[in-house]
Amino acid sequence: GAGVSQSPSNKVTEKGKDVELRCDPISGHTALYWYRQRLGQGLEFLIYFQGNSAPDKSGLPSDRFSAERTGESVSTLTIQRTQQEDSAVYLCASSLAGNYEQYFGPGTRLTVT
Amino acid sequence: AQSVSQHNHHVILSEAASLELGCNYSYGGTVNLFWYVQYPGQHLQLLLKYFSGDPLVKGIKGFEAEFIKSKFSFNLRKPSVQWSDTAEYFCAVTGTGGSYIPTFGRGTSLIVHP
């Protein structure tokens, strides 16, 4: 079946612009995660959605970052007033409820110039 | 706060060499442990996982990992690597109390020369 998809695959933006990154999880996966991976670093947790529960936003680095999820489907990660330090690969993952195994998308490579 | 250390950032081996990648974690409770792998141009995927029971777990492609509770370690091993094992390897940990958010190590880049 279809895996987790993300779009765009690459995004180049100018400093100060807003960007929206999209994630389509695997159908039936109620849990969805966003991570940031800077060059040479591990995955940094950003936000976690589980069903209709309030999202866990504890990993968002600043109020410029926000994310939404429509029901148990698509999620968008928005970065406002992008900065050069926002340049990274943004990964999305989904999982079944109560399951620790996550399925990752291909990521969106964001470059802020 | 939980943390994961992967001490080997870059490993270069020849085919047929044995592999051991270190992973140590810090967490105040029982844990679930994972190794994920990212082959060039592919998604991150689960290689193996430990939840409970036998501390020696076997994953795909001949990989195995051993959970040593006293050392807070979960090292990844393979007796004989292949060129196709060239990839980035990430260790991760979660607690077992219903928190599904993992903490990842910074990864180890493995290059296997044919």
Chain segment B87-96, per-residue pLDDT in tens:
999 999 998 8
pLDDT of residue B97: 76
Asked whether A112 and A18 are in contact (CB, 8 A), the reply is: no
> What are the helix (H) ranges across A1-113?
none
A1 pLDDT exceeds 70? Answer: no
Count the neighbouring beta carbons within 10 Å of the beta carbon of residue B18.
10
pLDDT of residue A33: 96
The reply to whether residue B103 touches residue A45, judged by beta carbons under 8 angstroms, is yes
The token duo for A91 is 């990964």
Asked whether B9 and B15 are in contact (CB, 8 A), the reply is: no
Chain segment A30-82, per-residue pLDDT in tens:
999 999 999 888 899 999 999 888 999 999 999 999 999 988 889 999 999 99
The reply to whether residue B102 touches residue A45, judged by beta carbons under 8 angstroms, is yes
Most confident range (mean pLDDT) of B1-10, B26-35, B65-74 is B65-74
pLDDT of residue B45: 93
pLDDT of residue B8: 87
Chain segment B51-68, per-residue pLDDT in tens:
999 999 999 899 999 999
Residues of chain A with Cβ-Cβ distance to B36 below 8 Å are 104
d(CA B60, CA B62): 6
Listed residue (B103, B95, B88, B101) closest to B21, CA to CA:
B88
- The DSSP bridge pattern shows strands B31-38 and B24-26 to be unpaired
A19 pLDDT exceeds 70? Answer: yes
Residue in B closest to A104 by C-alpha: B44
d(CA A76, CA A63): 15
Say yes or no: B104 contacts chain A, CB-CB below 8 A: yes
The reply to whether residue B43 touches residue A95, judged by beta carbons under 8 angstroms, is no
User: What value does the mean pLDDT of chain B take?
Assistant: 93
- Restricting to A residues 55-94, those with a Cβ less than 8 Å away from any Cβ of B are 56, 59, 91, 93
B43 pLDDT exceeds 60? Answer: yes
Q: Which of B94, B100, B107 sits opposite A42 (nearest CB)?
A: B107
